[in-house]
Chains A and B, each alone.
Chain A
């Protein structure tokens, strides 16, 4: 009973924080453009509006895929410690996280290709190609962390950095951090790696056929995705947090760096993006691995 209650609480928290992050991100983007920008709770309004609209479904697979995308990411979130609190205790949660994180993207891919729209199919094929690009360097950095800490538990990595700022992994493995940050940019689909969304080119890619509730679920998936990805970076490199508040503030910093980069870069073509990801972040990750081994 307690576990069920915990799961609901954790997922609501992640959704809420993710949506507020997206709103703050839009506000910051607006300030970069010298605009006033929407209020920080704009994303919450958007989702409530979308949930109240007429929704057009194409078939059962589309319904299933959208729900699978959201639950896949929420499932990932449950294995990530938030300032020492965790929904499911596990000794090997990095491996589980690696597996579950892909389910979100695969569910989305399933749902939108079921709609049969060619733009959606182009978007999905780009998103999956991009996944190939960022997962390799990101997991190489994770491997470095596992070797360094002799453990594949996020909690252990987290606790090893406790004490002072100088214990944080960002100082122990700075090159790996830069690699992970580049991969994170691609993972969140921000520019220069947003070829899968590209509103002016393929009409917002995977989202092209989604209306009403489905788009709302898509927004929630994006929000939880932002939460999961920033939480991973904070746990791995910024020493987690002593309280939930500091943890969320660190997440926000990581997210805002991504948003600012998003606003000052143009877009890579998909093959350029994968080439970049496999040369630079991958190279840095391998260098970090070699340095750790020495």
Chain B
């Protein structure tokens, strides 16, 4: 499905320089946590004195412009999905995505819900998924350490996958937002009305 060859060609250039810069990248990961699902509660122990992720240089950040990691906890509904995509596209490269909880892999216990997506990886590229319902704080820390190893080895490049296969992701996103129009009839009418008005103008 993905165009792997060209990715590897790119990686063979600038080997030494990449290794040096990767060291600095892995030692200073800033995280934006998008916690609309369950599981935001597991983050405070990771940040504070129990597990203290700052000793690896990982810290929370306030805006997408400053962040390296986007951590998405739990289920994401269609509405939050729009915001997640917008947030992800605002982050400067290199950027990585951690998906936290079973809901981001296969929908978890919301797998047949009408307004929740099942697999986050279809809409934005995910580097690491943390399975569990819900995962322990140790699992978050473990995934961060794993991500650090992947960055050093030059394996964490899902953001390039997004650029190279943008058509695939864009089609999935569009399908999602098309399928789920407004639920209320009046809202749907207004939606159509605005559409036609916009077309005329």
Contacts and interface: CB of A to CB of B under 8 A. Distances in A.
A66 to B, nearest CB: 14
A35 B59 CA distance: 13
A35 B48 CA distance: 7
A269 interface: no
Given A30-B54, A35-B48, A208 B62 contact: yes
Interface in A191-232: 199-200, 203-204, 207-212, 215
Interface residues of B, number: 20
B167 interface: no
Interface stretch (B1-9, B23-31, B115-123, B188-196): B23-31
B66 interface: yes
B183 interface: no
Interface residues of A, number: 30
A46 B57 contact: yes
Nearest to B59: A38
B63 A203 contact: yes
Given A56-B65, A208-B63, A38 B93 contact: no
Contacts, number: 73
B94 interface: yes
A211 B55 CA distance: 23
B42 interface: no
Nearest to B64: A211
A141 to B, nearest CB: 34
B149 interface: no
B164 interface: no
B51 to A, nearest CB: 9
A22 to B, nearest CB: 13
B32 to A, nearest CB: 10
Contact of A37 (B28, B54, B63): B54
